[in-house]
Amino acid sequence: MSKALFIVDVQNDFCEGGSMGVAGGAAVAEGITEHLNAHSDDYAAIIASRDWHDASNDNGGHIAWPPATPDFTDSWPPHCIAGTPGAEYHPNLDVSFIDMHVEKGQGKPSYSLFEGTTRDGKTVREILDELNITDVDVVGIATDYCVLASALDAKHSGRSVRVITSLTAGVASATSEAAIDKMADSGIEVVAQA
């Protein structure tokens, strides 16, 4: 068994005070760091994703630049614009543990970590295949969007997947609960603690 950890979108704009901050985001960043301090040796690869949207366009309709109004279903307020403080990892996350950084979005709507690439153009699937990764733990933000999409794609890639809910934060409780149900129904192991 070879295991990877996915850290999904633990960015300033998705934590309290950010343009799309969710309650508990900063605590999740801190909790992930505690998890890494205790369990980093359990993982053959620690892969973190960031939304990394273009400032020069609407990213395929994903970003509603003012005066446009986002619908919060397909379009969102400006967030995680490449090179801005909002796109950076939250300071509570110790990035020294991260082996690979994946950027997603980049001109188009993007939710799953699998839609991103490293700076040298590698896909997540290529990384997992090269390292013979069989198992994936998923943590991060937001439970009901990018964590859900990343976990489902990991499962669809043929791997065993576990989501650690104490290390996730969601946009809303109802949609987060629905996401957790969907993950469990898809054969993903959902646990409160590692």
Catalytic hit among 3, 9, 80, 135: 9
Catalytic hit among 104, 135, 137, 144: 104
Catalytic hit among 3, 137, 146, 155: 146
Instruction: Please name the residue that has the structure tokens 């605590």.
Output: 27
Contacts (Cβ under 8 Å, ≥6 apart) of 41 = none
- Does 153 qualify as catalytic in the annotation? no
- Are residues 41 and 99 in contact, defined by beta-carbon separation less than 8 angstroms? no
CA Rg value for the chain: 15
Q: DSSP secondary-structure letter at 85? A: G
- Does 146 qualify as catalytic in the annotation? yes
- Does 15 qualify as catalytic in the annotation? no
E strands, the chain, are 3-8, 45-52, 100-105, 135-141, 160-169, 189-191
Q: Catalytic positions, please?
A: 9, 104, 146
